[in-house]
Structure 1
Amino acid sequence: MTIKRFTVAQHERALVWKNKTFAGVLEPGKHWLIAPMSDIVVQVYDLTAPEFEHARVDFLVTEARDTMEKYFDIVELTESEVGLVYKNGKLTGVLTPGKRQLYWKGPIEVKVEKIDISSDLEVPERVAKLLARAKQPLLAQATDAVSTVEVPDTSVALLIVDGKFVKLLDPGLHVFWKFQRTVKIELVDRRVQTMEVSGQDILTKDKVSLRVNLTALWQIEDVVQARSGLQNFVEYIYKELQFALREAVGSRTLDELLSAKGDLDREIQASARGKIEQHGIELASVGIKDVILPGEMKEILNRVVEAEKVAQANLIKRREETAATRSLLNTARLMDENPTLLRLKELETLEKVTEKVDKLTVFGGLDGVLKDVVRIQVPAN
């Protein structure tokens, strides 16, 4: 027989095994053990790490439960329960469903809050932020335990659990338990979106090849309806706008297309809107942004435009000449009817002429200027 002394510190506890059988727990102090040393095993634990991990923990709880309850807080969770671990009032860990965990009773106060996740998969708001923004060492457990989404105020989110749509999530922070389920969250932007349908090569009714660019504004009105009816609603909108554009351009000649662009926009919007809006998507506006012609067609149109402008210029010129002639005719009639007006016009002309004459010799005084320089033949009555 051998006598062996063991000392257990104030912050320690020890498990004693004799002949591979649990013999008890040693508290702080000096202890004398009498037995063959090969038959005694002493396992010392530091209480500053309150979690008790042992290969035979299930055996100890079952066969020595009274002893275990004296020295440990025993936490046993069902398959539908999650445990929130608080040490000295601070959240430090998460226990998974079905977990059995023992904590030493000692300097660190450990409390475990049990939460039933069978009916409510959302994490309570009071701890949601703690888990969503956790830091190490809690971060690793929180990442495995919860799914987190922060929905911006411009969006809405769809909560999908095990492949089934559950509900819409309003803007804000949402945290869900991941245990025993697959949680998926889809964000959808509710703002007005811009879509470009670019580089569409289309033949007009008169066989002219054009390249057309289209711009559309759209917005999700019913998120659930859009998701349930369409696999990819962005691609669907693009295709419907593309089809409507080709149909509208292909049914018009080039002249009709260029002369009534507004009608084309309205026709495309009306054609695409009925198919798009039945899926909960609003088509706010549609507009042709660019109509690009082939090089030779540009030259032809430029010549046509040039000829039209020349014809317009000639027409304006002829109108001005006609107006000037009509004005001269009216002036001549007035002078013919009024000799004095004619005389005043002659004197006005004489004034303009004398402005350019350097020297003028007048004979006969003022009467010579008025009567001899310019003579007026007054028609006889």
Structure 2
Amino acid sequence: MFWTKRVVIGDGERGLVYRNRQFERVLDAGVYRIFDPLKRVEVRSFNIASPEYAGHDVDALVACLGDALGDTFVHVDLGADEVGLVLKNGKLEDVLAPGSRKLYWRGLVRVEVQRVSLAEGLEVPEAAANRLRQLGLLSRVAVAVEVPVESAGLVFIDGKLARTLAPGAYAFWNFRKNVAAEVIELRVQSVEVSGQELLTRDKVSLRVNLAASMRVTDPVAARTRVAKFGDHLYRELQYGLRKAVSAKTLDELLGDKASLDADIFGYVRGKVGGFGVEVLGVGVKDVILPGEMKEILNSVVQAEKAAQANVIRRREEANATRSLLNTAKLVEESPTLMRLKELEALEKVTEKIDKLTVFGGLDGVLKQLVTIK
């Protein structure tokens, strides 16, 4: 008939009938003939395999359907302090922000919405966090924090420290609150202070490289009592190094670096102890002198070594002379020892002579070659 409109709604569809742009009724799957002589009826069909209602008249549908709303839709109306977990066929698929108002089609997909109160805490349940991470939605609705071993996590809500976190994985809803998290490493860390231009007490310019080891003992104090504890420690190491070097002469620095390390360590440890940072050790790595000072020191060292060598040489010469004098006294007192010395002298002479002719026997040789008065 010309005055009727034929409408077909499939098994996976639902239809909404509007007459004069006003909602009239819901059409389930089937074939319908709607009387519409003046062409004022509009039928909108929806695929309920995607259960979320995509229209813009949610409030109008809620008002028009009244108590019959639950036959067609799952109605969700969240409070200002509630988060909705949307489960489709028993699996978490989406998250609704506080204050959300939505409709979901009943039919092909079983939709359930679990309410989570933000007043009871902002931490996301572990199971929900794992599922949202799998769906790639966690970063959109929550602040995720992973605290490694030998570290501590700090959670700030609206700028205030809320709690500390032990090693593990956490997530916190970021609705209506400004949530921030930081991870503080508790392992031993090294700090390098390089290329510091300093003056000694005797006005010698030099460059010093310093190394220190530290660890955080109180993460809350390290984060809240000082803006950046690493920068603060670096500056205190600079000040301690400058103070220790300026109190010593160049000879004192080069002769006893251990005392320099101890002075810097004592200064810095007292300055940073109240900020939750413990300094474990401080050591001067290098003391670099200007080119001219190096040449002067090299000359001094060479002169000192030459003087030491001369002293040693003179001492050895004196010892040799004294030993020779003692030997001469013994030879003078003992004819047998004198004869032995003569034979030793003859042996040394014969080593350098290829041919030796002897006249008058051995006594003649000895008397002619060696004459002792």
CA contact (8 A) 1:24 1:67 kept: no
Say whether 1:249 aligns with 2:245.
yes
1:364 to 339, 351, 360: 360
Matches within 5 A, 1:92-241: 92-135=93-136, 139=137, 142-241=138-237
**Aligned-partner Cα distance in 2 for 1:143–1:228:** 26
Match of 1:301 in 2: 297
Q: What code does the residue aligned with 2:210 have? A: L
Q: What code does the residue aligned with 2:305 have? A: K
Q: CA deviation at 1:208?
A: 1.5
**Aligned-partner Cα distance in 1 for 2:25–2:275:** 70
Matches within 5 A, 1:19-34: 19-34=20-35
CA contact (8 A) 1:132 1:175 kept: no
Match of 2:57 in 1: 56
Match of 2:5 in 1: 4
**Aligned-partner Cα distance in 1 for 2:77–2:357:** 137
Say whether 1:266 aligns with 2:267.
no
Say whether 1:343 aligns with 2:339.
yes
3-state SS of 2:327 partner: helix
**Aligned-partner Cα distance in 2 for 1:224–1:203:** 38
- State which drifts further: 119-128 or 203-212: 203-212
3-state SS of 2:355 partner: coil
**Aligned-partner Cα distance in 1 for 2:193–2:41:** 82
Q: What is the TM-score with the length of structure 1 in the denominator?
A: 0.93
Match of 1:282 in 2: 278
Q: CA deviation at 1:166?
A: 0.9
Match of 2:70 in 1: 69
Q: CA deviation at 1:161?
A: 0.8
Match of 1:311 in 2: 307
CA contact (8 A) 2:86 2:96 kept: yes
CA contact (8 A) 2:23 2:64 kept: no
**Aligned-partner Cα distance in 1 for 2:298–2:366:** 61
- Using a 3 Å threshold, how does the CA distance of structure 1 residues 47 and 37 change in structure 2: closer, same or farther? farther
Q: CA deviation at 1:181?
A: 0.5
* 1:236-262 residue CA offsets vs partner (Å, 9 max, x unmatched): 111111111111111112222221211
**Aligned-partner Cα distance in 2 for 1:271–1:178:** 43
* 1:79-98 residue CA offsets vs partner (Å, 9 max, x unmatched): 11111112223221111111
Query: Can you give the 5+ residue segments of structure 2 that lack an aligned partner in the other structure?
Result: none
3-state SS of 2:60 partner: helix
3-state SS of 2:122 partner: coil
Percent of aligned pairs sharing the same letter: 51
3-state SS of 2:135 partner: coil
RMSD: 1.8
CA contact (8 A) 1:343 1:376 kept: no
**Aligned-partner Cα distance in 1 for 2:235–2:101:** 56
Q: What code does the residue aligned with 1:308 have? A: E
**Aligned-partner Cα distance in 1 for 2:372–2:313:** 35
CA contact (8 A) 2:206 2:289 kept: yes
Q: CA deviation at 1:311?
A: 0.3
Q: CA deviation at 1:328?
A: 0.8
Q: CA deviation at 1:370?
A: 4.9
Q: CA deviation at 1:21?
A: 3.4
3-state SS of 1:98 partner: coil
CA contact (8 A) 2:14 2:46 kept: yes
Structure 1 residue runs of 4 or more that deviate by more than 6 Å after TM superposition: none
- Using a 3 Å threshold, how does the CA distance of structure 1 residues 305 and 226 change in structure 2: closer, same or farther? same
Q: CA deviation at 1:128?
A: 1.2
Q: CA deviation at 1:269?
A: 0.8
Match of 2:87 in 1: 86
Q: What code does the residue aligned with 1:100 have? A: R
**Aligned-partner Cα distance in 2 for 1:305–1:74:** 92
**Aligned-partner Cα distance in 2 for 1:370–1:204:** 73
CA contact (8 A) 2:83 2:95 kept: yes
3-state SS of 1:332 partner: helix
Query: Can you give the 5+ residue segments of structure 1 that lack an aligned partner in the other structure?
Result: none
**Aligned-partner Cα distance in 2 for 1:222–1:76:** 44
**Aligned-partner Cα distance in 2 for 1:190–1:212:** 28
**Aligned-partner Cα distance in 1 for 2:312–2:84:** 92
Q: What code does the residue aligned with 1:126 have? A: A
CA contact (8 A) 1:132 1:148 kept: no
Q: CA deviation at 1:307?
A: 0.8
**Aligned-partner Cα distance in 2 for 1:359–1:211:** 72
Q: CA deviation at 1:162?
A: 0.5
